Amino acid sequence: MSEPAFTLKATGRLRRRQLVNKGMGALAVGAALLAVAVLAIVVISVGSRGAGSLNLDFFTQNQAQGFNPKGGGVLFAIVGSAVLVGIATLIALPLGVLIAIYISELAPPRLARVARIALDISNGIPTIVIGIFVFTILVAAHGQSAFAGSIALAIIMLPLIARATEEVLLLVPSSQREASLALGVSRWRTTVQVVIPSALGGILTGTTLAIARVAGETAPLLFLTSLGTSSTADASPFHPLQSLTLVIFTYSDQADPAYQSKAWAAAFTLMCFVLFTSLAAKLALARYRKKLGG
Amino acid sequence: MLKAITFSAAALAVSILGLIAFELVRGSRLAFHKFGLGFVTSQTWDTIHNQFGALSLIFGTAVTGILAIAIATPLAIAIALFLTELAPKPVRALLGALVEMLAAIPSVILGLWGILVLGPFVQNQIEPFLGSTLGFLPFFRGQHSPTGILTAILILTIMVVPIVASVTRELFTTVPSELREGALALGATRWEMVRGVLLPAARPGILAAVALGFGRAVGEAMAVLMVIGGTIGIHLSVFAHSDTLAARIAGQYNGASTNLQTSSLIYLATILLAISLAVNIGAQLLIKPIDRRPRRRRIVLDRALEAQGLSAD
């Protein structure tokens, strides 16, 4: 296109409106850049401080004897985190799926709404309050254990898994259910053999997101499973166990810089795990939605 | 059979809510008998003389939560606007994913970063700057330190922005494009379209998102515990140390030496639960507002929507 012979130039009110428009656009760009910059600064500062202290010993050794902060690793905390999150998932996954089946397949609309609201409200309860709750029902009488920590994590996971599962169950086309029911298959078998299998991918990615979320949970574990823990690897759910998050917290408080660099290394390990699993799960979920949504 | 099993699972989920409230109230009985409602208006937290009160913790919770959400909300709305209205398509998905990654970073890691990286920056750069430019106000006076209310507010802002931004982004994408195009066709600039169409259409949802973000900031224990300094007392200055309900509970995790102190900590948890329930239920009501449109207009509107294959529900 050729340049016009003369250009129209906005003046007066129009000029002001266009300036305001430009200014607001610039602010929006600035805010988005700021958010990305903060993410980059956090990731880079954790990465640059943490990656240097990572070595094979860090993952395969326990704390060195005699509280020598230099050597050794955090195997005990990795094992502890795995046990805590593993048991929590074993409790929350089946319960969450059952709740979702009830809400999306069987419940009368009114009850389904009550259950949904209850789940959303549970999701908003501060995790420290859930920790105190488990403290009063389990730890006050029986002492600390990894199992108590797992119960708290399971309560945190439950609404996440139930809501994510409900969402994918709703995506399963009703024609599949109707076809199965029309063939005379019972509701129970339709749900278990038709609906669940075609929602399985979505359920698993939803669960992965919940795992990524509770793997970073610290506050409720402080008074449920942190006292008198040994710094050797232990997988018994009946003992108090350490976790990666607890190690980050306790090491960050130590004056010795060797401990601080271990805290950074643990933070880097945890951050990589959480970011990669949640990113992968989100990608899988988006793809799965596209597939079912047609 | 299936119905019975799944129903009991759902009933369990609902009853856990009630059970949490019941157990917390029961656990705080001892402190309630000793201090009564005066607990809420007393500033003391004295483990030696066994005197406990929540006022300064409630103050710290309110100040950090309100200021964090006040800073985060405009930022989050601006990010959501950029992601839905301005950014080119491929950038949208990438940037949206990055913002959600920020939300996924565990709070204990943000806390660690807060004390060792952000804290020194606050002490050496931000606080001297605020002190020299706005130091005539009582809010920006006192000793500079890496920990304190200001650092806690900044960390909470980082945690809350992605939450509010992703909800707001969802809201903006649900506004029908006819409305956008209508405003633009009438000659509105993009910003006038945002102010006149997008923001009013999304307002109840944005308020709900703000409530959820506030609830999250109020309930955050770890990151705040690590950066706020953990002292009792009410100070006007954001440079001062303080403490919040959640951080105090987490900080005294294993240190409670008397039953009364344990009970007082549970009392704090009960107050925190009450605040977060109020905020969350408020958000729920905002998302599903009671329909107050006059009945006749409602019917006309609903018919109009149905005629286009849309349902008002």
Higher pLDDT, A226 or A35: A35
Per the structure block, which two tokens stand in for B197? 């169409």
CATH hierarchy code of domain B20-307: 1.10.3720.10
Task: Please name the residues in contact with B70: beta carbons below 8 A apart, sequence gap of 6 or more.
Answer: none
Instruction: Report pLDDT for A2.
Output: 58
Residues of chain A in contact with residue B109, where contact means CB-CB under 8 angstroms, are 42, 46, 216, 248, 267, 270-271
Task: Please tell me the distance in Å from B139's CA to the nearest CA on chain A.
Answer: 25
Report the alpha-carbon distance of residue A36 to residue B162 in Å, rounded. Answer: 11
Question: Please, which pLDDT band fits residue A54 given cuts at 50, 70 and 90?
Answer: confident
Does the beta-carbon distance from A274 to B9 stay under 8 Å?
no
Residues of chain B in contact with residue A118, where contact means CB-CB under 8 angstroms, are 13-14, 17
Does the beta-carbon distance from A121 to B116 stay under 8 Å?
no
Q: Domain ranges for chain B, please list them.
A: 20-307
Instruction: Report pLDDT for B293.
Output: 47
| Optimal mutation site among B73, B105, B218, B245, interface A, most CBs of chain A within 10 A | B105
Instruction: Report pLDDT for B49.
Output: 85
Give the mean pLDDT of A242-257.
Answer: 86
Task: Please tell me the distance in Å from B233's CA to the nearest CA on chain A.
Answer: 22
Q: What is the pLDDT of residues B237-289, one digit of tens each?
A: 889 999 999 999 998 867 677 889 999 999 999 999 999 999 998 888 877 65
Higher pLDDT, A52 or B120: B120
Q: What is the pLDDT of residues B137-193, one digit of tens each?
A: 888 888 888 999 999 999 999 999 999 999 999 899 888 888 899 999 998 999 999
Task: Please tell me the distance in Å from A219's CA to the nearest CA on chain B.
Answer: 6
Give the mean pLDDT of B294-311.
Answer: 48
Asked whether the predicted pLDDT for residue A69 surpasses 70, the reply is: no
Question: Please, which pLDDT band fits residue A223 given cuts at 50, 70 and 90?
Answer: confident
Q: Which residue in chain A is spatially nearest to B75 when comparing CA positions?
A: A31
Task: Please name the residues in contact with B189: beta carbons below 8 A apart, sequence gap of 6 or more.
Answer: A17, A18, A20, A21
Nearest to A121 among B82, B113, B277 (CB): B277
**A193 at interface of B, judged by CB pairs closer than 8 A:** no
Does the beta-carbon distance from A132 to B27 stay under 8 Å?
yes
Residues of chain A in contact with residue B17, where contact means CB-CB under 8 angstroms, are 118, 121-122, 125
Question: Please, which pLDDT band fits residue B296 given cuts at 50, 70 and 90?
Answer: very low
Does the beta-carbon distance from A252 to B116 stay under 8 Å?
yes
Q: Which residue in chain B is spatially nearest to A276 when comparing CA positions?
A: B101
Q: Which residue in chain A is spatially nearest to B101 when comparing CA positions?
A: A275
Q: Token pair 């507010």 is at which residue?
A: B153
B156 beta partners = none
Domain A56-293: give its CATH architecture: Orthogonal Bundle (1.10)
Q: What is the pLDDT of residues A135-187, one digit of tens each?
A: 999 888 888 888 999 999 999 999 999 999 998 998 888 888 899 999 999 88
Residues of chain B in contact with residue A279, where contact means CB-CB under 8 angstroms, are 97, 101
- Lowest-pLDDT range, A112-116, B111-115, B250-254? B250-254
Q: Which residue in chain A is spatially nearest to B245 when comparing CA positions?
A: A128
Instruction: Report pLDDT for A109.
Output: 87
Instruction: Report pLDDT for B141.
Output: 85
Contact A54, A269 (CB under 8 A): yes
Q: Is B4 exposed, middle or buried (0-12, 13-18, 19+ CB in 10 A)?
A: exposed
Does the beta-carbon distance from A121 to B83 stay under 8 Å?
no
**A121 at interface of B, judged by CB pairs closer than 8 A:** yes
| Optimal mutation site among A20, A39, A45, A128, interface B, most CBs of chain B within 10 A | A128
Report the alpha-carbon distance of residue A100 to residue B10 in Å, rounded. Answer: 8
Does the beta-carbon distance from A31 to B79 stay under 8 Å?
yes
Give the mean pLDDT of B22-38.
Answer: 92
Does the beta-carbon distance from B24 to A223 stay under 8 Å?
no
Asked whether the predicted pLDDT for residue B109 surpasses 90, the reply is: yes
Q: How many beta-carbon contacts under 8 Å exist across A and B?
A: 250
Does the beta-carbon distance from A32 to B78 stay under 8 Å?
yes
Q: What percent of chain B has pLDDT over 70?
A: 91
Give the mean pLDDT of B63-89.
Answer: 94
Does the beta-carbon distance from B222 to A218 stay under 8 Å?
yes
Instruction: Report pLDDT for B23.
Output: 94
The complex's ipTM?
Answer: 0.89
Contact A147, A238 (CB under 8 A): yes
Report the alpha-carbon distance of residue A99 to residue A122 in Å, rounded. Answer: 14
Question: Please, which pLDDT band fits residue B306 given cuts at 50, 70 and 90?
Answer: low
Q: Token pair 């039953």 is at which residue?
A: B259
**A148 at interface of B, judged by CB pairs closer than 8 A:** no
Give the mean pLDDT of B216-223.
Answer: 94
Asked whether the predicted pLDDT for residue B71 surpasses 70, the reply is: yes
Asked whether the predicted pLDDT for residue A16 surpasses 80, the reply is: yes
Residues of chain B in contact with residue A34, where contact means CB-CB under 8 angstroms, are 75
Per the structure block, which two tokens stand in for B62? 């309110």
**A143 at interface of B, judged by CB pairs closer than 8 A:** no
Report the alpha-carbon distance of residue B248 to residue A147 in Å, rounded. Answer: 24
Instruction: Report pLDDT for A140.
Output: 81
Give the mean pLDDT of B13-38.
Answer: 92
Give the mean pLDDT of B60-69.
Answer: 96
Q: What is the pLDDT of residues B175-185, one digit of tens each?
A: 888 889 999 99
Does the beta-carbon distance from B108 to A267 stay under 8 Å?
yes
Asked whether the predicted pLDDT for residue A192 surpasses 90, the reply is: no
Q: Is B20 exposed, middle or buried (0-12, 13-18, 19+ CB in 10 A)?
A: buried
3-state secondary structure chain B: CHHHHHHHHHHHHHHHHHHHHHHHHHHCHHHHHHHCCHHHHCCCEECCCCEECCHHHHHHHHHHHHHHHHHHHHHHHHHHHHHHHHCCHHHHHHHHHHHHHHHHCCHHHHHHHHHHHHHHHHHHHHHHHHHHHHCCCHHHCCCCCCCCHHHHHHHHHHHHHHHHHHHHHHHHHHCCHHHHHHHHHCCCCHHHHHHHHHHHHHHHHHHHHHHHHHHHHHHCCHHHHHHCECCCCCCCCCCCCECCHHHHHHHCCCCCCCHHHHHHHHHHHHHHHHHHHHHHHHHHHHHCCCCCCCHHHHHHHHHHHHHCCCCCC
3-state secondary structure chain A: CCCCCCCCCCCHHHHHHHHHHHHHHHHHHHHHHHHHHHHHHHHHHHHHHHHHHCCHHHHHCCECHHHCCCCECCHHHHHHHHHHHHHHHHHHHHHHHHHHHHHHHHCCHHHHHHHHHHHHHHHHCCHHHHHHHHHHHHHHHHCCCHHHHHHHHHHHHHHHHHHHHHHHHHHCCHHHHHHHHHCCCCHHHHHHHHHHHHHHHHHHHHHHHHHHHHHCCCHHHHCCCCCCCCCCCCCCCCCCCCCHHHHHHHHHCCCCHHHHHHHHHHHHHHHHHHHHHHHHHHHHHHHHHHHHHC
Per the structure block, which two tokens stand in for A197? 């299998």
Count the Cβ atoms, other than its own, within 10 Å of residue A154: 24
Nearest to A106 among B3, B220, B273 (CB): B3
- Name the CA dihedral angle for B81, B82, B86, B90, rounded to a multiple of 10 degrees: -130
Q: Domain ranges for chain A, please list them.
A: 12-53, 56-293
Q: What is the pLDDT of residues A266-283, one digit of tens each?
A: 999 999 999 999 989 988
Question: Please, which pLDDT band fits residue A34 given cuts at 50, 70 and 90?
Answer: very high
Count the Cβ atoms, other than its own, within 10 Å of residue A125: 24
**A213 at interface of B, judged by CB pairs closer than 8 A:** yes
Report the alpha-carbon distance of residue B73 to residue B211 in Å, rounded. Answer: 10
Contact B242, B64 (CB under 8 A): yes
Q: What percent of chain A has pLDDT over 90?
A: 46
- Lowest-pLDDT range, A231-240, B77-86, B223-232? A231-240
Contact A131, A219 (CB under 8 A): yes
Does the beta-carbon distance from B254 to A20 stay under 8 Å?
no
Give the mean pLDDT of B17-43.
Answer: 92
Instruction: Report pLDDT for B226.
Output: 93
**A10 at interface of B, judged by CB pairs closer than 8 A:** no
Does the beta-carbon distance from A222 to B14 stay under 8 Å?
no
List C-alpha distances in Å: A3 to A7, A9, A10, A18, B154.
Answer: 9, 14, 17, 22, 50
Of A219, A217, A211, A234, the C-alpha closest to A91 is A211
Instruction: Report pLDDT for B310.
Output: 47
Task: Please tell me the distance in Å from B244's CA to the nearest CA on chain A.
Answer: 12
Does the beta-carbon distance from B105 to A98 stay under 8 Å?
no
Per the structure block, which two tokens stand in for B52? 């406990």
**A217 at interface of B, judged by CB pairs closer than 8 A:** yes
Does the beta-carbon distance from A274 to B106 stay under 8 Å?
yes
What's at B273, amino acid-wise? L
